[in-house]
Each structure stands twice: as structure tokens, then as C-alpha cells.
Structure 1
């Protein structure tokens, strides 16, 4: 089970790295738009849509990475005052519920991808009017990766319940470690 969890964590790590790399083209596109608009008085037709699609992609691909590193909002005062196995049980129930919800959401989003691909739907937000199915595909992939990492968290909680908690990730600094260093 540990190998499966570590495999899921590796996928989430790469998802986060891809999200981080996408910041560079987003910054380039925004700088290009600002220079084009204010220096040459020639705004682009695509900057708005590229910016929200790129930022959305960064956000969606960062979801699983944030969960992997325990960077999402957490009610720590509850966890701090309960026995570890009870915390594992609470986490397991919450993660199972969230995994089910995320799987359903991913499947619904995948249906939307297929529908928009078949109809050739455009965004309708600018003169550029790009097809929306690629961005809808990113929605489905992002939430699918989030569901996968949530499933990994279910397995981690099960290990805590069984009294065999997963050792911390080596080489990665988690939010908990950053807070302790401050």
C-alpha cells in the first residue's frame, strides 16, 4: 500500500511542477499584453482568455500538489487534541466522502468535455473565441488528479488507523515543517 501511496504522491508532485512551469508563459503573455496595449496602443484579442485559462490550469493542477503537501485549510486544533487513530478515522471518513464527490465531479466534467468537443463550442468572451473543450479537459484532469490524491489520503488514513502511519516524504518541505521553522 505504501508503494501505491508514493506513486500517487509522485503524480501529484509532477502535477504541481507542471503548474509551476506554467507561470512562465502566463507572465510572458501578460507582459506582452501590457506592452502591446500601452506602448503600441494595440491590445491583443487573446490576452484575457489566455490569462484565465492559464491561471485556471495552474490552480487546478496545483490542487493535488497542495493536498499532497497538506497545504489545504485544516482544522488543526481538533487534530491536536485527539488520539492519532481517532484522527485517522475522522480523516478517513472525510476523505472517502470527498473522493466520491470528486470522482462524480470528474465524470461530470468529462461529459462536458465530450459535449463541447462534439459541438465545437467557443468561449464567446472575445473576438478570438477559442474552443473551450481543451480548457474543459484541464478541468476534468485537474479534478481527476485531485480525486486520485484524495484517494491516496484515504489510504494514508487507513495506515494511521492500523497503527502504521506513512513516514514523511523525504526531501520535500511540507507546510507543517515550514510552520515549525518560523
Structure 2
């Protein structure tokens, strides 16, 4: 399990860096589009399509890292009233819910990604048409990595619940 955790941490960090790089590059595209519109009455073609697909890509590339680093929204007002064992059991339930949620999205996204690939689906009309399949496969990858992250949390917190210890604060390597 330790090897899977290290691999998951490494892959989610790489995906996070890719998301940050994409967000950084999008800034230049948007600035160029605004300058083109304002100064030359000629926007950069395809900006809307590229930005809309990139937002989805950025969100799903970051999901696994957000989960493993403890960055997901966590409301624990009532959970903290329980014993350490109860807190760990609640963390197990939350991790199981996250695992099922992202697992269902991953499973449900696979057919759409394959269809986008085989049908050569594009977003946009005219001068620039942006292929949709990369974004669709990144949704599959991101939800798969999120599922793995929740699985690791579930396994970790099951052990802590059995021992009667409080839940883990997830990964300390981030």
C-alpha cells in the first residue's frame, strides 16, 4: 500500500503542475484575446472554446492532489464531538462516499471519451475547431486518480478506526 500511496502522490503532483502550467498559459491567451479585441478589433480565434475546455481540464487534473493534501471542503462540527474511533469511522464513510462518487463519474465518462475519440468530436465552428477528446480523457484520468486517493484514505482510516485512533490528516508529503 505504501508503494501505491507514493505513486499516487507523485502522479497527482505531476497533474497539479500540468494544471498550473495550463492555467498560466491560458492567461497569455486571454490577454492576447482582449488586446486583439480592443486594439485591433480582431480577437484570437477559438479562445472561448479553448478556455471552456481548459477549465474542465484544470479542475480534473487537480482533483487527486486536492483530496490527498486534505484540500477538499470538510465540515466536521459534529464529527469532532465523537471519540477518536467515531471520527475515524466517519472519515471512512466520507472516503467511501468520495470513492463511489468519483468512481461513478469515471465509469460514466469512459464511453463519452471513447465516443469523442472515435467520432473525432470538436468544439467550435469556423476558423478554429478544438478537439474534445483530450478533455474527456482527462476527466476520466482525474476521476480515476481521485478515486484512488479516496481508496487510500479509506484504507488508512479503516486501520485507524480499528486501533481507536483519530482520522489521518491525509498525506503529509505535500
> Are 1:105 and 2:105 an aligned pair?
yes
SS of the counterpart of 1:22?
A: helix
Number of aligned positions between the proteins: 171
Residues 167 and 4 of structure 1, relative CA distance in 2, 3 Å threshold: farther
Question: How high is the TM-score relative to the length of structure 2?
Answer: 0.85
Which blocks of at least 5 consecutive residues in structure 2 are unaligned? none
Do the aligned partners of 2:92 and 2:157 also contact (CA within 8 Å) in 1? yes
Q: Is the 8 A contact 1:112 1:136 kept in 2?
A: yes
Q: Is the 8 A contact 1:67 1:150 kept in 2?
A: yes
Question: For structure 1, which segment, 23-32 or 86-95, has the greater mean C-alpha deviation from structure 2 after superposition?
Answer: 86-95
Q: Distance in 2 between matches of 1:142 and 1:112?
A: 15
Residue 100 of structure 1 and its aligned partner are, at CA, apart by: 2.5
Match of 1:180 in 2: none
- Residue number in structure 1 paired with 2:96: 96
1:29 aligns with 29
Q: Equivalent residues in 2 for 1:113-152 (5 A)?
A: 113-123=113-123, 125-127=124-126, 128-152=128-152
Give the C-alpha shift of residue 48 in structure 1: 0.6
Over aligned residues, Cα RMSD in angstroms?
A: 2.2
In structure 1, list runs of 5 or more residues that go unmatched. 173-182
